Amino acid sequence: MNAEAAFQGRTLVIVDDDAVNMGVITDYLETFDLRILTALDGQDALETVRAAQPDLILLDVVMPGLDGWEVCRRLKAEPATCEIPVIFMTALASTEDKLKGFEAGGVDYVTKPVRQEELLARVRTHLKIRQLTQGLQVQNARLEKMANELEGLYRQAARSNEQLEHMVHQRTRELEEAYRMLEMMDKAKADFIQVAAHELRTPLTLIEGYGVLIEEEAECSPGLKRLVEGILTGERRLHEIVANILDVSKIESQVLQVSKDPVQMLDIFEGLRSQFESILRERRLELTMSGLDGLPALLADAELLTRMFQHLLVNAIKYTPDSGSITVRGSLVEEGGNPWLEIVVQDTGIGIDPAYHELIFASFYQTGEARFHSSGKTKFKGGGPGLGLAIARGIVQAHGGRIWVESPGHDEASCPGSAFHVMLPVLEAS
């Protein structure tokens, strides 16, 4: 037997009404590893092919009853058999006859009398093509299956996506609602602070008024005078705190009124120097100023700027140990093609950890622990309510400027110091 891979386990149906021709071909092809089935007429051929589902059909054209062309047409019309290749065996040699065979669905033809080698070559070729086609069909089916699975996954992903979107929408709605509530609560808090601060100012003014009267009456009673002075000092500190709270609430609700008048930095700092003179002396702190006298005037709110630098100086005093120094430097700089005043308030104090450089500008924020809080306004490390820098930033921003701090870190032993930078736009140079 001539074993050939293309033939192994393959089934051939040979259809011919001429038993002699059939015998010759069958005998020859059976020497190869092929399974051969035979049919003697068209009807027989249809039944055999339907039942056996062969890999190739050799089909005689001229037969009594159904001829080869009709058999081929019927096979091609049935889904179960339409893929099986048909090779015609024909004694009719005209081009028209060959064309008729191709039109009926044949893939090839051999002419009778059949030459065995030629027949074998064609059988081999078409079995190979059939094998490749079947391989492709398997691949195709696999690909189709994968495509279906992918589609399933895609649909699943789309469903998950929809669910996620729904959750995100719901979350967004919840967050919007929470935000609205927070806004309302924030507004209520700001309103309360403003009303409370206003209400506190009235009794404080009364205390101050009566205190001053008692102070005058107590001229000849040093003991009483000292007591009243104590009351008045506490009252003034309380007054300042209430004023700070009011400032912060105005800044936070963006209702801070800023007037625009020509302001000289030197004037502001001369005023502040005399205001802090006795404290500086008491704490043996040196205050030096440079570069302030040559600066152009700003169109700004002198009172607000004074309050802002007052907070910076109070902090510099508070966070610098006795015998330290505070330096105020002014300069005219250019940024973005515009002139700006840069004022730096630098101290030789305990410094600020870079992690807090932004946080300290938030309202009510203080570094360190509240339980170590001391309320002395200018005592070393005497904390305040944590409003000074929030007010300072609010005032600077209301003037279109910027404020930030530079400090290598916090160290109460080595005192690395802090430098607060204030940049104010020179809206109109005078």
User: Which residues in this chain contact ligand ADP in the complex, by CB under 6 A?
Assistant: 311, 315-316, 319, 347, 349-350, 352, 360, 365-368, 383-390, 418
Q: Which is nearer to ligand ADP, 291 or 385 (CB)?
A: 385
Query: Residue 352 Cβ, how far from ligand ADP at the closest point, in Å?
Result: 5
Give the separation between CA 416 and CA 418, rounded to whole angstroms. 7
For 332, counting Cβ atoms within 10 Å of its Cβ (0-12 exposed, 13-18 middle, 19+ buried), the class is middle
Give the separation between CA 52 and CA 49, rounded to whole angstroms. 5
How is residue 115 annotated by DSSP? P
Token pair of 393 as six digits: 């930033």
Three-class SS state of 370: helix
Q: Which is nearer to ligand ADP, 101 or 386 (CB)?
A: 386
Token pair of 331 as six digits: 């300069």
Query: Residue 229 Cβ, how far from ligand ADP at the closest point, in Å?
Result: 24
Residue 70 CB neighbour total at 10 angstroms: 14
Residue 86 CB neighbour total at 10 angstroms: 26
What does each C-alpha distance from 216 to 183, 207, 234, 338 come to in angstroms?
49, 14, 18, 54
Q: Which is nearer to ligand ADP, 295 or 317 (CB)?
A: 317
Q: Which is nearer to ligand ADP, 272 or 350 (CB)?
A: 350
Three-class SS state of 66: coil
Give the separation between CA 302 and CA 287, rounded to whole angstroms. 21
Query: Residue 324 Cβ, how far from ligand ADP at the closest point, in Å?
Result: 11
Q: Which is nearer to ligand ADP, 20 or 370 (CB)?
A: 370
Q: Which is nearer to ligand ADP, 46 or 390 (CB)?
A: 390
Query: Residue 388 Cβ, how far from ligand ADP at the closest point, in Å?
Result: 3
How is residue 221 annotated by DSSP? -
Residue 71 CB neighbour total at 10 angstroms: 27
Query: Residue 329 Cβ, how far from ligand ADP at the closest point, in Å?
Result: 15
Residue 345 CB neighbour total at 10 angstroms: 23
Answer for the pair 265, 343: CB distance below 8 angstroms, yes or no: yes
Query: Residue 212 Cβ, how far from ligand ADP at the closest point, in Å?
Result: 27
Q: Which is nearer to ligand ADP, 137 or 275 (CB)?
A: 275
Q: Which is nearer to ligand ADP, 31 or 397 (CB)?
A: 397
Q: Which is nearer to ligand ADP, 221 or 275 (CB)?
A: 275
Could you please report the per-residue DSSP string of 289-308? EES-TTPPPEEE-HHHHHHH
The strand pairing partners of 403, in sequence order, are 422
- Helix, strand, coil: what percent of the chain each, to 5? 55, 15, 30
Query: Residue 362 Cβ, how far from ligand ADP at the closest point, in Å?
Result: 8
Query: Residue 295 Cβ, how far from ligand ADP at the closest point, in Å?
Result: 23
Give the separation between CA 193 and CA 83, rounded to whole angstroms. 90
Query: Residue 417 Cβ, how far from ligand ADP at the closest point, in Å?
Result: 8
Query: Residue 359 Cβ, how far from ligand ADP at the closest point, in Å?
Result: 8
Q: Which is nearer to ligand ADP, 102 or 364 (CB)?
A: 364
Among residues 330, 356, 359, the alpha carbon closest in space to that of 345 is found at: 330
Q: Which is nearer to ligand ADP, 10 or 311 (CB)?
A: 311
Give the separation between CA 67 and CA 61, rounded to whole angstroms. 6
What does each C-alpha distance from 161 to 49, 154, 157, 164 come to in angstroms?
52, 10, 6, 5
Query: Residue 406 Cβ, how far from ligand ADP at the closest point, in Å?
Result: 11
